[in-house]
Amino acid sequence: MSLNGTYDDDNIFAKILRGDMPCVKLYEDEHTLAFLDVFPQSKGHTLVIPKNVQARNLLDIDESALAPLMHTVQRLTRAVNTALMPDGIVVTQFNGAPAGQTVFHLHVHIIPRYEGETLGAHAGGGMADMDELNALAAKIKAAL
């Protein structure tokens, strides 16, 4: 999909927000939802999405909705750091398919990096073990 287009109400994150698809939830407030990526690039790979907006990417979101999203991104990045003690953390966001975006609902990736461990492929790795995700979620939630 291109950088510009129409929001699709059937994208996976819209389904998660509606409760039509499950997620391993880390945090939720009136503006945002944070959960673990089921196709993680690294242990603790977290996604943060805005609620109540139909923003395909960063270009589509109103400034008033962007501020709470970024507040949650910072809060979750701190919790991931405290809980998992990675050697580094990548915070990234893709806009349009040529940039690497695969789900067309604005989302921010928080990807812990560990020395000596190869980063998995974006949207190309295997599905995570749900027991491992739930254990990671408990650690991250405890650090919030």
Catalytic residues: 107
The strands making up 46-50's β-sheet, listed across from edge to edge, are 24-28, 32-36, 46-50, 108-113, 88-92
Report the candidate in 136, 114, 116 with the shortest Cα–Cα distance to residue 38. Answer: 136
Residue 44, both tokens:
């603790």
DSSP element (H, E) containing 36: strand 32-36
